[in-house]
Structure 1
Amino acid sequence: MTIGSLLFIGAIVVIAIFGVTLYNGLVALKHGVAKAWANIDVLLKQRHDELPKLVEVCKQYKQFEQDTLQRVIEARSRVQTAREAQNIEALGEAEGMLRMGLGQIFAIAEAYPELKANDNFMQLQQRITSLENAIADRRELYNESVNINNVRVEQFPDAVIARLFSFETKPLLEFSTVEKADIDMKQLFS
């Protein structure tokens, strides 16, 4: 074999190793995003299971605002549908509505001393608040995983391998502007 042939074979081997390394890195990122989503999914399911209990406890107080409870039930349903479909955009919007509804329930509960004294309500409120905090933490981790994935899929030379093997960018989990708005406390108690 000539030196030119050896150099050519060596260059091919180096390029192949580089390509495999890029491919494996993209696979690891794709699975990192899936893992981060699975962590959020578990927490959403747990919260999904707790919400009917909270609504039932609130319904025991006949004068409790039924409109707010209905909005929470509808938002819970929308979150579940978006979660099962893994529709990140719809999930973000539904999450915003659900979080706003939960905030209203907890704010309205302040006007019902006997509800606030109910052990079941207090335990559910604490459990749901804990789940909300965990979801926020996992959302941050998910968005960071998605960001790293998206950068690698779009930057050269990774983009070449990404296009060749159909790696795609993923959407960030962003909550709707409804969730970011302040709750109108006057409206809640009027």
Structure 2
Amino acid sequence: MTTVTAVAGGIVCLLLIVVVAVLVATYNRLVRLRNQADASWAQVDVQLKRRYDLIPNLVETVRGYAAHERGTLDAVVAARGNAMSAAQGAGPASRAVAEGELTSALGRLFAVAEAYPQLKANENFAALQAELSTTEDKIAYARQFFNSAIQSYNNAVQTVPTNIVAALTGFRAREFYQAAGDERGPVRVQF
């Protein structure tokens, strides 16, 4: 009898060790996926801040050539301010709305610039426009990477058996970055 009890106890201990190891491995996987999602959002944020930094220089350059286009310039400045305000602790959905407004205002600014050949020929304006275009590409890539990281994280949080560990340890699904109307298509930056 004692041999059977010892074997049963050993099997129970072995099963307990396996269950604990699986739980720890699952928890660590969730942590890695959450950290990847956080890091990818930080990259989106870095690129958006770069965009915000370029806009005042672009506005000032346009102002020098098209000062009477004040409404358009003020709209860009206001949209930039709104986007920067939305960046303070807001999630992807509210940031997408503010970024959509900024993209729309920038589109109007570039449309105004088309009417000024001297402005289009200005080296500073061309350099800022090219840099903004490159930044827009980086933003699009960073958002794509963010959504991919969120998809991996959400899949882990919502599928069996990982969802059990996720529910017990407080991991919740996160929202994707979904571009607002004007942001869905590529930004037309013309040279």
- One fold, TM greater than 0.5? yes
Q: Which residue of structure 2 aligns with residue 51 of structure 1?
A: 55
Cα separation, 2, equivalents of 1:170 and 1:50: 30
Code of the residue aligned with 1:115 in structure 2: it is: L
Q: Which residue of structure 2 aligns with residue 103 of structure 1?
A: 107
Is residue 2:157 matched to residue 1:153? Answer: yes
Divergent runs of 4+, >4 A: none
Code of the residue aligned with 1:42 in structure 2: it is: V
What are the residue-to-residue correspondences of 1:1-190 with 2, within 5 Å?
A: 2-180=6-184
Give 3-state SS (helix, strand or coil) of 2:50's partner: helix
Gapped regions of structure 1 (runs ≥ 5): 184-190
RMSD: 1.8
Code of the residue aligned with 1:70 in structure 2: it is: D
Give 3-state SS (helix, strand or coil) of 2:65's partner: coil
How many residues align? The count is 183
Gapped regions of structure 2 (runs ≥ 5): none
Indicate if the aligned counterparts of 1:82 and 1:88 stay in contact, CA closer than 8 A: no
Q: Which sits farther off after the overlay, 70-79 or 2-11? A: 70-79
Residues 48 and 156 (structure 1), Cα distance of their counterparts in 2 relative to 1, 3 Å cut:
same
Q: Which sits farther off after the overlay, 92-101 or 80-89? A: 80-89
Cα separation, 1, equivalents of 2:66 and 2:77: 17
Give 3-state SS (helix, strand or coil) of 1:60's partner: helix
Indicate if the aligned counterparts of 1:58 and 1:64 stay in contact, CA closer than 8 A: no
Cα separation, 1, equivalents of 2:32 and 2:16: 24
Cα separation, 2, equivalents of 1:33 and 1:147: 9
Residues 182 and 10 (structure 1), Cα distance of their counterparts in 2 relative to 1, 3 Å cut:
closer
Indicate if the aligned counterparts of 2:103 and 2:182 stay in contact, CA closer than 8 A: no
Structure with higher Rg: it is 2
Residues 177 and 120 (structure 1), Cα distance of their counterparts in 2 relative to 1, 3 Å cut:
same
The CA deviation at 1:46 is 1.1
The CA deviation at 1:108 is 2.1
The percentage of aligned residue pairs carrying the same residue is 33
Cα separation, 2, equivalents of 1:111 and 1:103: 13
Cα separation, 2, equivalents of 1:65 and 1:179: 23
Q: Which residue of structure 2 aligns with residue 188 of structure 1?
A: none
Q: Which sits farther off after the overlay, 110-119 or 79-88? A: 79-88
